[in-house]
Amino acid sequence: MARTEQLTKAGQSIWLDNITRDLLDDGSIERCITDLAVTGLTSNPSIFDKAIAGSASYDAEVRRLAKEGHSVEETFFALAIDDLRRAADLFRPVFDATGGVDGYVSLEVSPTLADDTEGTIAAAVSLHEEAARPNLFIKIPGTPAGLPAIEEAIFRGVPVNVTLLFSVADYLAAADAYLRGLERRRDAGLDLEVASVASLFISRWDAAVASTLPTELHNTVGIAIGQQAYVASLELLASTRVRELEAAGAHMQRLLFASTGTKDPAAPDTLYVGALCAPGTVNTMPDATLEAWADHGELSAPLAADPAPAAAALAEAAAAGVDVDALALRLQDEGKDAFVRSWESLLASIASKAAP
């Protein structure tokens, strides 16, 4: 049995947090599906920046699109959609076998739209139509401006991966936006088969508090936030509001653990994978983390629906000077800015390749 099957047998979906044309061309993504039980894939501007800048595989198409008069941004989305269509087709059997619960790939709207509700809605609808794959999520940040865009996108039938979530409050706000979109579809007599995941970022917490906490508390806050969100998700799934939507045919939004590569070299490279294996959730992993788990990962037990360990860990962090609520806001702002920087770097890389 592949070690990754420990996670799938516990009820968690494994997704790959990477895509490049080379990984598609050499069969690596297909092998992830067949050999490592990977059932989906995520991307972001940083991933595509590394893929396009670090490979010659896109160069000819970049030059062709530039000669045809496409803008740099149009060129990027053409390249990304080509890659993600191919990946979506590889995962389509999973999508079909699970009735649309799993088997997704994700494409993010421009990070420059994070504070632009109407621009995000227009981009989400347009990109999903252009991609023309039912198992392609559009990633929308769970920012104040992103939340109404998430609701509207769901109402219009666009499946959404909500990104840049850092706290339980962020997660619940994203879940509420999703439910509002579904409720509007129900009231309009539309089907409720519009999926979503809510991506909670984990390791960035521990990187942010490492200089504040004593050594014995390092790498505890991210896991505690994940545990807390998992308990909150179970409580939400048990609510009357959710059960009524499920009875009407909806699949509920799943909690997705993102940023699960270990950033502390002193910590185990599979730290967040083993600690956050929870039934009904998703863990999207960078290549190195997936390979590490496949090589030596050991699951002691799935995550328990017990709020006490998270509460205790966060109380210790607070006593050491960590303001969790303030830090969650800061991390979302920093994440938003980091994605904009990656976006600008990505567009600059494309522009340089397009130059005659």
Longest CA–CA span in the chain (Å) reads: 61
Q: Which of 4, 8, 13 is nearest to 251 (CA)?
A: 13
Q: How far apart are CA 173 and CA 168, in angstroms?
A: 9
Asked if 23 contacts 86 with a C-beta cutoff of 8 angstroms, the reply is no
Name the phi and psi angles at 107, rounded to 5: -125, 130
Dihedral through CA 275, CA 162, CA 255, CA 235, nearest 10? 130
- For residue 119, the one-letter residue type is G
Name the phi and psi angles at 106, rounded to 5: -135, 140
Q: Which of 97, 122, 96 is nearest to 110 (CA)?
A: 122
Which of 9, 67, 139, 336 does the annotation list as catalytic? 139
Active site residue 336: no
Location of structure tokens 């991933």: 47
Q: How far apart are CA 187 and CA 235, in angstroms?
A: 24
Name the phi and psi angles at 276, rounded to 5: -120, 35
Asked if 16 contacts 87 with a C-beta cutoff of 8 angstroms, the reply is no
Residues 6+ apart with CB under 8 A from 234: 305
Angle at 237 (CA atoms; ends 174, 100), nearest 5 degrees: 75
Give one word for 164, left, alpha or beta, with left for phi > 0 and alpha for psi -120 to 50. Answer: left
| Catalytic center residues | 139
